[in-house]
Amino acid sequence: MALYLDTAIPAPRVSFATPRACIKSEVFDAALLIVPPVAALTAVAAVQANPGLFRALLLADLSLLGYTHVVATYTRLAFAAETFRRNRFLAFDLLLLVVVASLALVFTAGTWVVATVFLYLQWFHYMRQGHGLARMYFRASPEGQSAGSRDIVTDLLLVLVPVYAIAARSATMGGTFLDLPAKTPVLPAEAITALGLAAAVAGVMWTLRSALAFTRGTLDGMYASFVLSYVAMFLVGYIAIESADIGWLAISIWHTLQYALMVWMMSAKKQAGAEPASFIARMSPPRRMAGYVLSCIAISTAIYLVLGQLVMAMGGGMLVAVVIYLGINFHHYMVGALMWKRRRIAAA
């Protein structure tokens, strides 16, 4: 892909011979693009209008989306006997190791270590998933279907904006994150400004190139719209919203809804034309998304309620319960990164 713009000589109008493909279908692609950011921004608007709603929406996000999207990982990794046997270390042994390591960190270094690591791991996790989805939209575009095609300008934008966003947030968020103590590194103001300028330059390059593609009739609207929504959510979640907690709520809802839709899509594709191998697989075929989501909500609610009660009964207290939940999320980040990269991991 050319990385320069020649505006002096009018470019001839061209059109891609290859029609746009879909990640799954036009309806699904549009839903994946529209539903997560709209839900996130609606929740933020509600909290801004009535701050008393924050805890209720946070609880809903954690219980209906956060815990559910963690469980959604396991529906692909270990919800059938065969896949559990193949993935036992990733699904179970590694989980125990990560939770124990999280507890050890808290009781040796302090709660702030886990809370701070959680903040930055989440940021990286959100960025990585968004970038992966952008690549999927790109590959579905006519230009992206060419062998070996890359979109370097967009890749730069998708990295520089989140890096600037987390740097700016780290400098202003203070000493707590979701009511837990946190210690964020603060870069010099000049460095943050430089990151912002670099992100702005990438944004200008992307905008000019997209405008030129639009005039030529070659702009893929779905792909461009996703890139815009990705940039907007990072700027809103980490910069525009003054409260770090409310900003996190926005980007968390955006991320978890995306993830739930993507896991359902992957499971549905795998089960297409095949006999379902497990209960959760029977919830994955087309037109059963509601059943899949409700099943994940029910399973996650039961697991986290039992886990919370078990910790309390053993005298662990709320801090131990929170750290265990964070440890589960750390494990989810690690396994998720491997699951989407390594084809050899057997999915349910």
Name the band, by pLDDT with cuts 50, 70 and 90, for residue 25: confident
Q: Which of 29, 39, 31 is nearest to 233 (CA)?
A: 39
Give the contacts of 314 (CB within 8 A, at least 6 positions apart): none
- The predicted model scores a pTM of 0.75
* Mean pLDDT within 5-32: 64
Number of H helices, E strands in the chain: 14, 2
d(CA 226, CA 307): 37
Query: Residues of 71-104 as b/e, b for ≥16 C-beta within 10 angstroms?
Result: bbbbbbbbbbeebbebbeebbeebbeebbeebbe
Q: What are phi and psi of 190, to 5 degrees?
A: -65, -35
Query: Residues of 169-206 as b/e, b for ≥16 C-beta within 10 angstroms?
Result: bbeebeeebeebebebeeeeeeebeebbebbeebbebb
d(CA 75, CA 296): 8
**Most confident listed range (174-178, 187-191, 271-275):** 187-191
d(CA 68, CA 224): 29
CA dihedral sign of residues 328, 332, 333, 334: positive
Both tokens of 56, joined, read 């209720």
Give the contacts of 107 (CB within 8 A, at least 6 positions apart): none
Taking only the tens place, the pLDDT of each residue in 251-290 is 988 988 888 788 777 666 665 544 444 555 555 444 555 5
Taking only the tens place, the pLDDT of each residue in 74-107 is 665 655 566 667 766 776 777 778 778 777 777 7
